């Protein structure tokens, strides 16, 4: 039997704020709301420049959102009390496990971009510089971290159509969006398990 002593409840609003942080929204919007619009630009140069603009905006938005979600969900995980049984044994509360899962998944957007999206980001950065010039911030880490790598150079050389590169970028962001959705659902399950609603 479990201890029936009531636990103090955490305020609900901070829980909801963590779920509502637009981690999923920015990834989806940059890829699925913006890409269909920029695909129909008048030239490859315009497409490359438009991709670079939205990519840099997403890059600057994503890092703080990932950090907020990571630390917010970790805070919830480590402040959720263990279950204490009448026998005196403790077990980790399932809500904590859900919060840790949410923390890891909802913070995965940046590592995903730095690994799986690396070749495509590098190829598109090269293409944007070739077709549309250096842009406003040519030394931005987002544009330079992979642009000199052999795999990025090869992809940019072999994939002649900028549209194909942008569609590949969109596909990767679809995957990222689903990972973020699963993380958000895990966090919501943690809230329900903890009785936060």
Q: Which among 123, 167, 164, 163 is positioned nearest to 146, based on CA atoms?
A: 123
First to last CA, the chain: 24
Question: Within a 10 A sphere around the Cβ of 4, how many other Cβ atoms?
Answer: 6
pTM of the model: 0.83
- pLDDT for 4: 52
| Alpha-carbon distances of 151 from 30, 42, 55, 103, 172, rounded to whole Å | 24, 28, 19, 31, 17
- pLDDT for 20: 52
- pLDDT for 9: 55
Between 193 and 52, the higher pLDDT residue: 52
d(CA 139, CA 43): 24
- pLDDT for 51: 95
pLDDT tens column, 31-82: 788 898 899 888 999 999 999 999 998 888 888 888 888 888 898 888 888 7
- pLDDT for 72: 87
Q: Which among 137, 160, 166 is positioned nearest to 46, based on CA atoms?
A: 166
d(CA 141, CA 125): 11
């Amino acid at each position: 039997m479990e201890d029936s002593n009531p636990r103090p409840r955490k305020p609900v609003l901070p829980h909801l704020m963590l779920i509502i942080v637009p981690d999923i929204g920015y990834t989806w919007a940059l890829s699925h709301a913006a890409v269909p619009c920029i695909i129909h630009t008048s030239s490859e140069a315009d497409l490359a420049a438009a991709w670079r603009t939205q990519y840099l905006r997403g890059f600057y938005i994503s890092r703080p959102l990932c950090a907020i979600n990571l630390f917010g969900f970790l805070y919830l995980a480590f402040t959720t009390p263990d279950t204490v049984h009448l026998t005196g044994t403790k077990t980790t509360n399932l809500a904590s496990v859900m919060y840790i899962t949410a923390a890891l998944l909802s913070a995965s957007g940046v590592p995903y971009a730095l690994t799986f999206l690396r070749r495509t980001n590098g190829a598109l950065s090269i293409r944007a510089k070739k077709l549309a010039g250096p842009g406003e911030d040519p030394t931005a880490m987002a544009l330079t971290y992979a642009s000199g790598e052999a795999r990025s150079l090869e992809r940019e050389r072999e994939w002649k159509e900028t549209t194909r590169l942008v569609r590949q970028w969109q596909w990767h962001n679809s995957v990222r969006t689903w990972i973020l959705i699963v993380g958000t659902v895990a966090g919501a399950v943690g809230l329900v398990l903890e009785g936060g609603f």
